[in-house]
Structure 1
């Protein structure tokens, strides 16, 4: 897994251990993501399917894209499509993805890179593997997260952040058994490079077999744990969790994740995405690529899109 790694974890800053009085977050639920296809046909797991949106707030949805080994000619992406009212976060673990939008944003992201696109008032964009990758095939694995925008920011100007893998903050546990990558937000006084409208933290952690992660977490945020690959447990009562499952946690000061001693042959470690944010607690009207506060605003977004107000496809 070529997402940002370090050969010697002992050189990294250590996360603090929970202190006296710190409360562990209980596990409210564990759900299994259904599998499907997105865009032109690349496989995805719908990480948050079946979870109450109120528990997800400020997040809307997350897809695990792949993990898939493409044969030559197989890699696929999405056609040009619109967005309004939220942010898309694309984190590539393995493989290469090209992005382009109607406001001049875009670029190529690969192993450990993140593209953070604030759709705001509206834009068109496309995501696809580069032509050379389509021709030769190869491994592809990543996530795409949708982050809601508060009412006051839904019509903000579109914005694009290109976050290189080498920019993420790297931390470890007191025993140096876990690699913690902070992509956005703040964790135990360490800030990730991603800039967000909605206060939130996004982490990718790799737990070696038998290791344990006690992760300090902002008490004002919700907390979600999604397993990219591997087997382990979550919560102080050690509820089992495995590839493609999401745990929703309750309130507290820290959360606990542990990796089983035995892991899959393909992946020697447990990889999880941990995310949480300040709930927006506003009405949500969501239809396809538009996430607004009212049905009338969604209908207006469709009308603006149909009338070409989201910009134009470059070169067309």
Structure 2
């Protein structure tokens, strides 16, 4: 059974800045798609392609806390570096993904990698926040640094394109990311005039973002930078590219628990939010300059 398009969200009119290095359009929850409706996904920010220009000043986001969820940073163009209060650091380049589990609390900063910042060039990123179930909200913070070469790669029939699988699976091609709840996350590259058909579990919430290009889904036209929320019924998704296209596809099993969020803290109750703020103020997330 085909899975119908419930809603198409065009690129928001309002542009936001995260620090001075991320020029983002917010689709979740800013487009009035609630966190419960798209659970386990909590937030999606898209830095559409933009050239910040060369700079001796390293742009980015200064030290900030996270607790109770995961951040997934997907690099399409440009390079991002990070440091945290556990002593971890790293760099992701185009095609790479950084999957950070904040768990019981961490301080973090992320910024344009120094060499890229000095040279400038196109910068294109997605950051997705993924909720953790209550039983896992206090796990120790950790990272999965996933390079482009580590992704599951599925080559589509009829020279239609390819799918880079970050998490879950596409047509039995598995992604390397380890997740706390069932999630599918992949980048689909589809050549102009070509089509692809695939299934997403009916018990998952499902959506996609057209990073580049334009597609049709069943009979619906979806343009560059449009976000699509799928309905609840059916499994089959059919896409046809009207031009060479890159599409981020996501689906996940809903976490049927209360959501209490305050900025960078996502817990189950307001009391837990107050505890998280207290822990942060008491320095329990560590120290990061």
Give the shorter-chain TM-score range. over 0.9
SS in 1 for 2:286: coil
Of the three residues 182, 186, 192, the one matched with 1:209 is 192
* Matched residue, 2:5: 27
Of the three residues 43, 63, 69, the one matched with 1:80 is 63
TM-score (norm 1): 0.86
* Separation of aligned partners in 2, 1:291 and 1:57: 13
Considering fraction of residues, name the structure with more strand.
2
Q: State the Cα distance separating 1:253 from its structure 2 match.
A: 2.1
Q: State the Cα distance separating 1:141 from its structure 2 match.
A: 0.9
Alignment map for 1:187-266 (pairs within 5 Å): 187-234=170-217, 236=218, 238-250=219-231, 251-260=233-242, 263=243
- Report if aligned partners of 1:55, 1:248 keep a CA contact under 8 Å in 2: no
TM-score (norm 2): 0.93
* Matched residue, 1:272: 247
Cα deviations across residues 28-52 of structure 1 (Å, max 9, x unaligned)?
A: 1111232321122521111222213
Cα deviations across residues 69-98 of structure 1 (Å, max 9, x unaligned)?
A: 121117621111000000000111111110
* Separation of aligned partners in 1, 2:130 and 2:118: 33
- Report if aligned partners of 1:47, 1:245 keep a CA contact under 8 Å in 2: no
- Report if aligned partners of 1:45, 1:63 keep a CA contact under 8 Å in 2: yes
- Bigger CA drift: 180-189 or 33-42? 33-42
Q: Structure 1 residue 68 and structure 2 residue 50: aligned?
A: yes
Alignment map for 1:145-164 (pairs within 5 Å): 145-164=128-147
* Separation of aligned partners in 2, 1:304 and 1:189: 42
* Separation of aligned partners in 2, 1:149 and 1:33: 28
* Matched residue, 2:266: 291
* Matched residue, 1:138: 121
- Report if aligned partners of 1:203, 1:273 keep a CA contact under 8 Å in 2: yes
**Structure 1 spans left out of the alignment, 5+ residues:** 1-22, 264-268
* Matched residue, 1:36: 16
* Separation of aligned partners in 2, 1:82 and 1:75: 20
Alignment map for 1:85-100 (pairs within 5 Å): 85-100=68-83
Q: Structure 1 residue 175 and structure 2 residue 150: aligned?
A: no
Q: State the Cα distance separating 1:211 from its structure 2 match.
A: 1.3
**Structure 2 spans left out of the alignment, 5+ residues:** none
* Separation of aligned partners in 1, 2:208 and 2:119: 34
Q: State the Cα distance separating 1:174 from its structure 2 match.
A: 2.8
- Report if aligned partners of 1:124, 1:310 keep a CA contact under 8 Å in 2: yes
* Separation of aligned partners in 1, 2:167 and 2:86: 23
- Bigger CA drift: 23-32 or 71-80? 71-80
* Matched residue, 1:5: none
Of the three residues 272, 275, 282, the one matched with 1:307 is 282
- Report if aligned partners of 1:25, 1:253 keep a CA contact under 8 Å in 2: yes
* Separation of aligned partners in 2, 1:61 and 1:33: 15
* Separation of aligned partners in 2, 1:33 and 1:158: 33
Of the three residues 154, 168, 173, the one matched with 1:185 is 168
* Separation of aligned partners in 2, 1:104 and 1:186: 32
* Separation of aligned partners in 1, 2:153 and 2:22: 30
Aligned residues: 283
The RMSD of aligned alpha carbons is 1.5
- Bigger CA drift: 135-144 or 285-294? 135-144
